[in-house]
Amino acid sequence: MKVMKLKIMFIALGLGFLAFLGLLAFVAIFISNEEHSLDSDDSIDEIGGISVSADVLKHQAMVEKYAKEYGILEYVSTLLAIIEVESGGKLKDVMQSSESLGLPPNTLDTEASIQQGTKYFADLLRSAKASGVDENTVIQAYNYGGAFIDYVAKRDTQYSFGLAESFAKERSGGSRVTYSNPIAKKKNGGWRYRYGNMFYVDLVSQYFISPHFDDEMVQIVMNEALKYEGFPYVFGGDNPNTSFDCSGLTQWSYRKAGINLPRTAQEQYDVTEHIPLSEAKPGDLVFFHSTYNAGTYVTHVGIYVGNNQMYNAGDPIGYANLTTAYWQKHLIGAGRIKQ
């Protein structure tokens, strides 16, 4: 009987110890997540302006890594849209970039594919800048190859579907193939030339979201602010030549709509009507405290765009989800600009 009681006691102690270990693990995970949200603003910035699948978004961090390495952080959204078109995020060679190295299709693994695809896109951007052609030419060249940049430069400075079509016609010798994509059906009855994909710009662009606001002032502000998505955060920056800090971005963007805001986050807070976030409308400002030691209570500001999202000069500049633990911890509230 005593042996049985001892066994029960040891079992109970063992279960209690396991429960204690589980509690410690839970606490460790909680602390780790909280520290991560406090120390890394990059982790809380979300890609805005595009609508791509979860299979593509899981590659976002790696795309950002190599976009930063090759100096094209502002093109992260474009690179993700390219992944959606090329593979839907599901193939090993997600950017289908093996062939840009002269390798057979699907040779590269996922990270090598993203590294090479991003490098290739950066090389095309430099070539386009030297030739004076636009960014849609670069997107089409990702599919056609760099020769398309020279082709456009000799005929125009802007991409057009007509140029993409004529390039494919020349390269294919006029050979056609039926093509079931809805864009092709809409444009020319559902065929394309047997060289590359002359609808590539349309295929990539369909994943971009152009935010629309009923308020004309808000639309002007956001049209300007979105030009700098992907730009790095620069303390003291207040114009496109230097990039921006948080209040520099809001001051610059609102000025385009004829609204003159003071320079710092604290000063902008002081001149607005203070309202809770629940009453905020697109175009209001959102304010935060203690995000760094600035010597003032208000230390960060962003533009509210609706649905608990803001657009702000994080690092890089972009959208952020206001429901995350980091922003909730530092949130003061919204501010409506007095006009």
- CB distance 192 to 198 below 8 Å: yes
State both tokens at 309. Answer: 């999202």
**Domain edge (last residue) among 205, 233, 249:** 205
- Please indicate, yes or no, if residue 24 is contained in any of the structural domains: no
For residue 172, is it within any domain? yes
Say if 10 falls within a structural domain: no
Where in the sequence is the domain holding 161, given as residue range(s)? 54-205
Does the pTM exceed 0.95? no
Sequence-distant (≥ 6) Cβ neighbours of residue 246 within 8 angstroms: 233, 265, 300, 301, 302, 312, 313
Residue 300 annotated as catalytic? yes
Cβ pair 298, 266 in contact under 8 A: yes
Q: Are residues 175 and 59 in the same domain?
A: yes
Q: Are residues 220 and 320 in the same domain?
A: yes
Query: Quick one: which of 303, 312, 290 has its CA closest to 45?
Result: 312
CATH of the domain at 93: 1.10.530.10
User: In this structure, is the dihedral angle defined by the CA atoms of residues 117, 156, 202 and 174, taken in order, positive or negative?
Assistant: negative
Same domain, 215 and 201: no
In a domain, 136, yes or no: yes
Give me the pLDDT at residue 187, please. 78
**Of 175, 205, 235, which closes a domain?**
205
Q: For residues 192 and 71, state if they share a domain.
A: yes
| 222 lies in the same domain as 149 | no
Considering 241, 308, 312, 330, which one is annotated as catalytic?
312
Residues 220 and 297 in one domain: yes
pLDDT at 253: 97
Residue 79 bridge partners (DSSP)? none
Catalytic entry in 59, 143, 197, 300: 300
273 found inside a domain: yes
Do 65 and 200 lie in one domain? The reply is yes
Q: What is the largest CA-CA distance in the chain?
A: 97
Q: Output the domain CATH number for residue 219.
A: 3.90.1720.10
Same domain, 189 and 218: no
> Which alpha helices (H) appear in the chain, and where do they start and end?
2-39, 54-57, 60-69, 76-86, 110-131, 135-144, 147-153, 161-172, 182-188, 200-205, 216-225, 246-255, 265-270, 325-330
**Number of separate domains in the chain:** 2
Asked if 312 is an active-site residue, the reply is: yes
Residue 176 contacts residue 169 (beta carbons within 8 Å): no
List average pLDDT for each run of 10 residues in the chain, which is 339 residues long. 41 41 32 27 43 91 95 91 96 96 96 98 96 94 98 92 95 93 80 94 85 87 90 93 96 96 97 96 97 94 93 89 91 93
Q: Are residues 146 and 224 in the same domain?
A: no
* Residue 237 contacts residue 307 (beta carbons within 8 Å): no
Query: Which of 190, 205, 220 marks a domain boundary?
Result: 205
- Same domain membership, residue 228 and residue 171: no
CA separation, residue 215 to residues 220, 221, 222, 227, 275 (Å):
9, 10, 11, 19, 19
In a domain, 216, yes or no: yes
Residues 133 and 235 in one domain: no
- CA neighbor of 289 nearest in space, from 317, 253, 326: 326
Active-site entry in 59, 136, 197, 246: 246
Using the Cα atoms of residue 24, residue 26, residue 28 and residue 34 in order, give the sign of their dihedral: negative
246 in active site: yes
The answer to whether residue 71 sits within a structural domain is yes
With respect to residue 3, please indicate whether it lies within any of the assigned structural domains: no
- DSSP structure class, residue 206: T
SS3 64: helix
Residues 98, 196, single domain; the answer is: yes
